Amino acid sequence: MHSNHKPAVLILCTGNSCRSHLAEGILRAAAGDLFDVRSAGSNPAGYVHPLAIRAMAEIGIDISAHRSKHLSEFLGTPVETVITVCGRADQACPVFPGQVNRHHWPFDDPAHATGTEAEQMAVFRRVRDEIRQCFQAYADGRRDALNAAVKGPVAR
């Protein structure tokens, strides 16, 4: 049994090799004190993309120990919020059963970037920064809401 009772946030995409790991690392850095942050895929690639690991290292977040995993690992776990990060219309976003908060924030898949490694890296950085902006705002909003709930109504 988990000793921490932090609500679980599960970030899903198809392959669980890039975007969901970028988002997991960023949200954990921004709000790991508030949430148990995990990621998974409906068709896991089986690896975390090396350029995703490098893009995160550039902003001081280490995701080298992350692993690509199937969302079925979390079916027996109470999940408070599911966030899908698939972007392309032809990608079937995974669906997680259960009555949970759901958000769909689509991002381009940097694994599809072509060209030189430097050109691919530029795409990874762009997507990382888009995810960072979105998930940092989400973390801030949740933190504000929790703080407001704790404090209760403000006396005037």
Query: Of residues 8, 10, 11, 13, which has the active-site annotation?
Result: 13
Indicate whether 2 belongs to any domain. Answer: no
Domain of residue 57, residue span: 8-151
By percentage, how much of the chain surpasses pLDDT 90?
A: 77
Q: Worst-scoring range by mean pLDDT, 37-41, 98-102, 136-140, 143-147?
A: 98-102
Q: How many domains does the chain fold into? A: 1
Q: Given 34, 45, 59, 93, which residue is catalytic?
A: 93
Question: 18 burial class (0-12, 13-18, 19+ CB within 10 angstroms)?
Answer: buried
The reported pLDDT for the residue numbered 150 is 86
- Rounded CA separation 82/20 (Å): 11
13 counts as catalytic = yes
Q: Does 134 participate in catalysis according to the annotation?
A: no
Q: Active site residue: 30, 31, 86, 123, which one?
A: 86
Q: Is the pLDDT of residue 9 over 50?
A: yes
Band the pLDDT of 3: cuts 50, 70, 90. very low
When the pLDDT of each residue in the chain is averaged and rounded to a whole number, the result is 91
Asked whether residue 3 is assigned to any structural domain, the reply reads no
CATH number for the domain harbouring residue 35: 3.40.50.2300
